Amino acid sequence: MRFLLIEDNKQLASAVVDRLMLDGHVVDHAPDIQTAHDFRSTTVYDLILLDIMLPDGDGRSFLAACRNQDSRTPVIVLTARSEVADRVGMLDLGADDYMVKPIDFSELEARCRAVLRRRGGEARNLLTLGDVQFDSKSGTLSVGAHTVQLRARELRLFEVLANAPDKVFAKASLVDQLVSYDEDVSENAIEVYVGRLRRHLHGSGVKITTIRGLGYKLEVA
């Protein structure tokens, strides 16, 4: 998943980015509202983590602008404000969840998973595709009685493909969802991750098919 973190505290932002990237997420960091708008103009995000007090304005104006544009990207607000009126106000503006600083990273990860499941219409971490089970929380892939622990980018790549079976994803699109602006990763890396997933899926009714000249899609027998 690709996240946008809008936070002006460099130390907190670095800690959040490092933690979420350990989970295999791609995280772009915007220290102010203008940078966040610039990022959103060129990139589609799965989730936005939004601070309120920013150098060039109030995070609420950014949230309002997103919702006025009919953006359905989930937004979790991160703020030091704990008053009920503040929480209610942010939720009424269109925030999907709200966390008061200081942030517990385990709770943040759980809230991200919960918000993404709700937005995708899923109630659980477990996804079943034919004879394959995928647990996004534990990062495991099970084929029959055999279970493997996926590496971070394998996990996120399978998550992207598995949430849209039969949809063709171009390599460039997959790179965009798996790699942040700060990283230099070529499209060839996607071939490596796909190869690893194919080995894990060997013998199952789930396969990742190459569509020549277009990209990859996941198929369930």
Same domain, 6 and 62: yes
Q: What total of structural domains would you count in the chain?
A: 2
The 3-state DSSP composition of the chain as helix, strand, coil percent (nearest 5) reads 40, 25, 35
- Containing structural domain, residue 134: 126-220
Q: Which residues contact 174 (CB under 8 A, 6 or more apart)?
A: 157, 160, 190, 215, 216
> Do residue 106 and residue 161 come from a single domain?
no
State the CATH number of the domain containing residue 34.
3.40.50.2300
Q: Which residue ranges of the chain lie beneath pLDDT 50?
A: 123
Are 116 and 152 found together in one domain?
no
Is the domain of 143 the same as that of 216? Answer: yes
Same domain, 193 and 215: yes
- Cα–Cα distance between 115 and 132 in angstroms, integer? 24
* pTM of the model as a whole: 0.72
159-174 pLDDT, tens digit each = 889 988 999 999 988 9
At residue 61, the pLDDT reads: 92
- What's the Cα-to-Cα distance from 174 to each of 14, 41, 52, 159, 217, rounded to whole Å? 24, 18, 31, 11, 11
pLDDT at 123: 47
List the CATH number of the domain containing 178.
1.10.10.10
Same domain, 92 and 142: no
Q: Which of 75, 99, 120 is the last residue of a domain?
A: 120
Same domain, 11 and 114: yes
51 and 19: one domain?
yes
Q: Which pair of tokens denotes residue 164?
A: 């849209």
Both 115 and 181 in one domain: the answer is no
- CA gap 42, 161 in Å, rounded: 22
Show the tokens assigned to 175. Answer: 């790179």
Choosing from 120, 146, 164, the residue where a domain stops is: 120
Claim to verify: residue 100 and residue 156 sit in the same structural domain:
no
Claim to verify: residue 8 and residue 112 sit in the same structural domain: yes
Answer with the one of 74, 104, 120 that is the final residue of a domain: 120
Same domain, 47 and 105: yes
